[in-house]
Structure 1
Amino acid sequence: MQNSKWVDVAIVGAGLAGITCGQTLRQSGYTVAILEKSRGLGGRVATRRLMATCADHGAKFVEPQGEQTQQLIQQLCDRQLLQPWTAPIWTVDAAGTLTPTEPTPRYVAPEGMTAIAKVLAEGLDIRRQQRVVEIKSIDAQTWEFTTDSGEALPLQARSLVLAIPAPQAVPLLEPLVAKGLPTAVLETVRKAMFDPCITAIATYPAEQAAAWHRVGALQPLQHPVLRWVSRESQKRSMPGHEVCVLHSTPAFATQYIDAPTLETAGRAMLQAGAAWFPGMEKPQQLQLHRWRYGFARSPDPMLEPLPHAKTPIPLVITGDWCRGSNLESAVEAGVRAASLLEQWLNSGHD
């Protein structure tokens, strides 16, 4: 393809795993391009802008989960992008008993959780709103990409990382079996399982929260509808209004995940939350988001090494679902994918 940009590594997906992989490779001297289907980046490290503030409608906070997240927390705190979150978090059991959770180090981003992704992505070539629907190996030397517009991208790469949920990777991988991709790689990716989640972001007048002062966040246990409710005003200043984020259970989300509109689901979630937060069923504004691949079910055992193939051209599949289902898993999976590719690129694919 004439006038194509040629890179060492193309990465499909700008979630934490993809960004971490790309940044690791870039810092090792490789040329990298990341293709992302949406306008944002960070995947489930997501922030919704509303009114004069924002709400985290994906990852709720950051906590030390291992070496990778400890380093990340330190890096972001040094840049004053994270701050400790000390608001009380309570659990509520099936009998309605509220119990405070043990205080543990938790951190939030005053500017929203996407600040994490933006830092990790600094200096990377990220092409947004590029939904890849087909990948091809050209003469067993380079990868080429077609988007949902039907056009081939002016980009060629000598290796590829798919850093997207496994169900989205499968249709990209299936045609490659005839080109030499080992069937075992495709079958490993097919086995990955995910649970859906519906998220509601609800806005209220500031005075509505007068009866909610005890709780910064609530974690219902064995509840049929909700698995998390948080007050975003406990994370950052929200003068004049209150914002709550509610996450559904997988079972509840499964009922509505393919519905044309999520309005009914959202109203049911607010009605459930009103059992603990009086007046929650009457928001000023309600926004809804469906996470079709909201929570990865941890592989057992976790995939080690990551699904990969050297033929027809170097390819690695990665994501938090390869290692677990949290931020530590995502960052670790990205680092491991970069390490594997570096070995191949340094050895001429042998």
Structure 2
Amino acid sequence: MFTIPMNSITFDVAIIGAGASGLTCAQQLQKAGYSVIVLDKSRGVGGRMATRRVSGSRADHGVRYLEPKGELLIQLIEQLKTCEPLENQLQLWTNKLYEFKENQLQSQVIDQPYYIIPSGMSTVGKFLTNGLNLQLNSKVESLTITPEKIWKCQIQSTNSNTLEPPILAKSVVIAIPAPQALMLLEAANTEVELNFLDIIKSVEYDPCLTVIAGYSKEKYQELPTWKAVRFCDDQILDWVGVDSSKRLNATQPVFVIQSNAQFAEQYLEETDLTLAGQQLIHQAANTILPGWETPEWIQIHRWRYGFCRQPLSLSCLATTTPLPLVCAGDWCSGNHLEAALKSGLETAKWLQTQIKL
């Protein structure tokens, strides 16, 4: 029998996942006076608002930019414009997007400008963690209920692969991709409402492969005039961006190349993605980047749950059986950042009706 240690802390809410939804929820609850802890298996925060450091450069290999569409996202953009230092401030990147369609590069005027952060999109996640109780490198291996009717999150360190003291909470928020939430709940020793898991199963995702490619600084003079190109009908490409154009003091040209879902599916289970990365670079060179076939270095990232193809029509998925439990994310009511922010906000509102201080 599990007995709560006398010196252990039982939080009001444990949030699994430090993406936009989880962090927004945590901020709202903490402001309302609840004790909250955010758990994430990664070493950084932000989820798909991800920035990688490689060879002295930074590159956004997940979310590409912020676009002021939606009330919550507009509010966040205004807040980010005042961050310090300058490299953490949101800045205009471009107000023109190019499309490669029917073998032609076509300019497209966009309704709203695209904003970026010179220090990287992961800065958005760091901004949202301000003042929060955060525990990184902590994978929730199991989710169970104690005899005392408390949620128990068993934690495994992703640094050492060792078990850590469990986290106890009155309620749990699962703010990770739906398939990962499903695996965690199916393995739990408790029964949720009859159709709860079936609803999560209905959510579908498209994968994506991202290549970060760095080139010799001598090639700066050969950079294209465009900053980003979207592909409409290519066999393997979805997006190519001049990522180094986002940085204040870039040391070399860096491109980010993202695949479409069909191409990513072919390599989803491959352990070595080198061949896939080479194909993406070759295709980009053949279509819009002649002379850029040979980078100095590349890194490849696999987004198994890149884009939600079939989201729910709910802002969050909640139940009180057997204890307060909420699933949140951009897979609730949409597949974009505004939906993620709204999901976190609505989750916090629901929990405040269930947990009395």
TM-score tier after normalising by the smaller chain length: over 0.9
CA contact (8 A) 1:165 1:293 kept: yes
Q: 3-state DSSP class of the match of 1:100? A: strand
Match of 2:336 in 1: 326
* 1:36-87 C-alpha deviation (Å, 9 max, x unpaired): 0110110000001123331100000001120010000000012251011127
Match of 1:340 in 2: 350
Q: Which amino acid aligns with 1:112?
A: G
Q: Distance in 2 between matches of 1:215 and 1:118?
A: 29
Q: Distance in 2 between matches of 1:144 and 1:253?
A: 36
Select 2:167's aligned residue among 155, 161, 167: 155
* TM-score after normalising by structure 2: 0.92
Of 203-212 and 244-253, deviating more is: 203-212
Select 2:108's aligned residue among 101, 106, 113: 101
* 1:238-271 C-alpha deviation (Å, 9 max, x unpaired): 4441000011000000000110110000000000
Q: CA deviation at 1:209?
A: 4.1
Select 2:303's aligned residue among 273, 284, 291: 291
Q: Which amino acid aligns with 1:100?
A: S
Q: Which amino acid aligns with 1:102?
A: V
**Relative to 1, partners in 2 of residues 1:305 and 1:246: Cα closer, same or farther, differing over 3 Å?**
closer
Match of 1:132 in 2: 140
- Aligned positions, number: 343
**Relative to 1, partners in 2 of residues 1:247 and 1:140: Cα closer, same or farther, differing over 3 Å?**
farther
Q: CA deviation at 1:325?
A: 1.1
Of 261-270 and 204-213, deviating more is: 204-213
Match of 2:269 in 1: 258
Match of 2:11 in 1: 7
CA contact (8 A) 2:313 2:334 kept: no
Q: Distance in 1 between matches of 2:56 and 2:338?
A: 31
CA contact (8 A) 1:4 1:154 kept: no
CA contact (8 A) 1:87 1:234 kept: no
The answer to whether structure 1 residue 217 and structure 2 residue 244 are counterparts is: no
The answer to whether structure 1 residue 122 and structure 2 residue 120 are counterparts is: no
Match of 1:228 in 2: 239
Q: Counterparts in 2 of 1:59-98, with a 5 A limit?
A: 59-79=63-83, 81-86=89-94, 88-93=96-101, 95-98=102-105
**Relative to 1, partners in 2 of residues 1:305 and 1:236: Cα closer, same or farther, differing over 3 Å?**
closer
Q: Distance in 2 between matches of 1:322 and 1:65?
A: 17
* TM-score after normalising by structure 1: 0.93
CA contact (8 A) 1:15 1:44 kept: yes
Q: Distance in 2 between matches of 1:151 and 1:118?
A: 26
Q: Which amino acid aligns with 1:122?
A: N
Q: Distance in 2 between matches of 1:83 and 1:305?
A: 29
Of 210-219 and 114-123, deviating more is: 210-219
Q: Which amino acid aligns with 1:72?
A: L
The answer to whether structure 1 residue 54 and structure 2 residue 41 are counterparts is: no
Q: Distance in 1 between matches of 2:323 and 2:296?
A: 53
Select 2:182's aligned residue among 164, 167, 170: 170
Q: Distance in 2 between matches of 1:88 and 1:204?
A: 24
Of 98-107 and 248-257, deviating more is: 98-107
Q: Distance in 2 between matches of 1:322 and 1:161?
A: 13
CA contact (8 A) 2:228 2:239 kept: yes
> Alignment RMSD, CA only?
1.7
Q: Distance in 2 between matches of 1:65 and 1:210?
A: 34
CA contact (8 A) 1:140 1:313 kept: no
Q: Distance in 1 between matches of 2:164 and 2:349?
A: 29
Q: Which amino acid aligns with 1:33?
A: I
Q: 3-state DSSP class of the match of 1:106? A: strand
Identity of aligned residues (%): 38
Q: 3-state DSSP class of the match of 1:65? A: coil
Q: CA deviation at 1:215?
A: 1.5
Q: CA deviation at 1:298?
A: 4.0
Q: Distance in 1 between matches of 2:34 and 2:212?
A: 40
The answer to whether structure 1 residue 39 and structure 2 residue 43 are counterparts is: yes
* Consecutive unaligned residues in structure 2, runs of 5 or more: none
Q: Which amino acid aligns with 1:126?
A: L
* Consecutive unaligned residues in structure 1, runs of 5 or more: none
